[in-house]
Amino acid sequence: MRHAKRQQMAQDAAKTQRKKTERSWALINGLAAFCVLGVLVFGGYQAIMHPETPLPPAWNPTQPLRISDPVTPLTNWKLNRAAATETQCLSTLQGHAALRALAPLKDSDRCFISDRVDLRRVGHARLAPLETRCAIALRMAMWEQHSLQPAAQAFLSTQVTSIAHIGSYNCRAMRTSAGGSTRMSTHATADAIDISGFDFEDGTQIRLIADWNGAGAKVAFLRAVRDGACKWFALTLSPDYNRLHADHFHLQSRGWGLCR
Ligand SMILES: [Zn+2]
């Protein structure tokens, strides 16, 4: 009897000891995990913030957008940030566009241009003088650099020298296939631009009205730059959308992601 009791007491003591050891290990593991996490966070912070960081600017979230940087998963987020404020937008475009900042225009409560610019060129492509918002100029510059010129090289072995447009600001209501609408168009605040074609260094001309339903390299170019616009603009409508867009791309800097 006494022997059984002693055995039980010994077992209990061993159990308590085991539990103590387990708790100690859990504590040590927790501390180790905390230290590893701390090192990772600190290392990551250093990698991003250090002036001599090996992280390329295009991959560094603390570095602003640069138009000629390679495209990374951060590019669109950086673009939206740069497009949101006039000073950021203008400084990003410096050296990549011919434009002049203008005073804001206000025709009415529904028709106005904030962050107004007079735009004449993005990258290597001229434009007929265009009054628009800086955000449109910035998205045009990204499109020219990362979609228009690469597609011109790939499909036509030449360079885009001029972008034909039919304006950005227009104080009017939306037009739909069913007729007019009571809602104002994004053109009423210059948050959109209509593009009708392109001229190239070798003399080639492409116009959406004549070439969208054609064949060969011109069509391949037009499809590629429409798809490219979907990356840089919030909403892109092409002749595929409806008959109202048979002769132009409607590119918008705000909206719900339509790409057609
Ligand atoms: Zn339009």
Q: Environment class of residue 92 by beta-carbon count within 10 Å: exposed (0-12), middle (13-18) or buried (19+)?
A: buried
- How many A from CA of 97 to the centre of ligand 1? 22
> What confidence score (pLDDT) does residue 255 get?
87
For 40-78, write each residue's pLDDT tens digit: 677 666 667 776 778 999 999 999 999 999 999 999 999
DSSP 139-188: HHHHHIIIIIHHHHHHHHSS-EEEEEE--S----EEEETTEEEEEEPGGG
With cut-offs at 50, 70 and 90, classify the pLDDT of residue 2: low
Portion of the chain with pLDDT greater than 70, in percent: 95
pLDDT of residue 26: 77
Residue 131's beta-bridge partner residues?
118
71: left (phi over 0), alpha (psi -120 to 50) or beta: beta
Q: Which residue has the higher pLDDT, 27 or 251?
A: 251
- The yes-or-no verdict on residue 1 having pLDDT over 70 is no
The average pLDDT across 117-136 equals 98
145 or 45: which leads in pLDDT: 145
- pLDDT over threshold 90, residue 36: no
CA 193–ligand 1 middle distance (angstroms): 6
What pLDDT is attached to residue 51? 67
**Average pLDDT over the chain, rounded to an integer:** 92
Distance 91 CA to ligand 1 centre (A): 27
Ligand 1 centre distance from Cα of residue 96 (Å): 24
CA 250 – ligand 1 centroid, Å: 4
Query: Could you tell me the CA-to-CA distances from 119 to 52, 99, 131, 141 in Å, in that order?
Result: 36, 4, 6, 11
Domain-wise residue ranges, the chain: 1-55, 61-252
- Match 């631009």 to its residue by tokens: 193
Encode pLDDT of 157-195 as tens digits: 999 999 999 999 999 999 888 887 889 999 999 999 999
Residues with CB under 5 A from ligand 1 (ion): 192, 194, 250
Amino acid 11: pLDDT: 79
Least confident of 54-58, 86-90, 250-254: 54-58
The predicted structure's pLDDT at residue 35: 60
